[in-house]
Structure 1
Amino acid sequence: MSPLQWRVRPVLPIVKLLGAVALVVLVVAFGGEDPVQWFVAIVVAATLTGWAVRDLVAPVRLSADTSGVTMVVGFIRRRHVAWPQIERVRVDSRERMGLRNRLLEIDAGDSLHLFSEHELGTDPEKVAEALNAMRANAPL
């Protein structure tokens, strides 16, 4: 089986950067004389920018091959987990306030890795199916 990878959709970092710029523009447009407004705007804009930079520097959040799974942990660090170390791959689906949230869960025994549809660029159910199929065919 050939290696598989899932990445952040290219539009997400662009939207985050535009949001950061829009926030600063709104503060300027509405007077922006209050130092608290500026502080909050700068902190939120910096956070959005950092989040967008992470998407640009490490767009591939999850990849899998016959040896195991490699995933981004923390800001941009990568961790490889061999198939025998993975206890379970499943999708956790919850509904709160009328919104459904689905996360891919990779249980590696000592750690639990969660990936949203936005991080994977596709439906977590499809990713779970592909990972479980690759895991079943992986050499022990």
Structure 2
Amino acid sequence: MRSWRVPPPQIAVKCAATVALAALAALSMDDPQLVFLAGIAALGAGGLALRDLLAPVRLTAGADGLTVVNGYAGKRHIPWPDVTAIRVDERQRLLMRTRLLEIETTDDLHLLSTFDLGEDVRDVEAELLRLNTSG
């Protein structure tokens, strides 16, 4: 059984950003626009940090199939025969390059990034292809 998770330092940065943005909002009560913007940013960062705390393991693979995070923090088990494709989607726009691991099933598509897995998605793809015993 192999699992991939959000790196703990990344979770710590999101928590620290949430606290810093909430403090900025609290200390800026004389500027309603700044309070609003910092408050919205704190809620967004807090939502991302909470998801990482509730479901840090984003992908697990074993002989019987995969388990992926589904929705905000739920889990879904996918037997290997239901996996139709595992591939890396790589795109470059302007100066940014993105790589996503795509796990396609008969009825869904799961996208995971390096930030979700804590490893290069190409390495995870290779490991999943090796673990997939259904073909």
Q: Which residue of 2 aligns with 1:123?
A: 120
Q: Which residue of 2 aligns with 1:6?
A: 4
Q: Which residue of 1 aligns with 2:18?
A: 20
In the alignment of these two chains, the number of paired residues is: 135
Q: Secondary structure at the match of 1:84?
A: helix
Q: CA deviation at 1:38?
A: 1.1
Whole-angstrom CA distance in 2 between matches of 1:139 and 1:62 = 18
Q: Which residue of 2 aligns with 1:82?
A: 79
Whole-angstrom CA distance in 2 between matches of 1:139 and 1:104 = 19
Identical pairs, percent: 41
Q: Which residue of 1 aligns with 2:96?
A: 99
Q: Which residue of 1 aligns with 2:130?
A: 133
Whole-angstrom CA distance in 2 between matches of 1:5 and 1:36 = 43
Distance 1:95 1:47, change over 3 A: same
> 8 Å contact 2:81–2:134 — kept in the other structure?
no
**Counterpart code for 1:130:** E
Unpaired segments of 5 or more residues in structure 2?
none
Q: CA deviation at 1:28?
A: 5.3
Deviations 1:14-36 (CA, angstroms, capped at 9, x unpaired): 1011112222334456x441223
Q: TM-score, normalised by structure 2?
A: 0.92
Q: TM-score, normalised by structure 1?
A: 0.89
> 8 Å contact 1:66–1:139 — kept in the other structure?
no
Unpaired segments of 5 or more residues in structure 1?
none
| In the alignment, structure 1 residue 109 sits paired with structure 2 residue 106 | yes
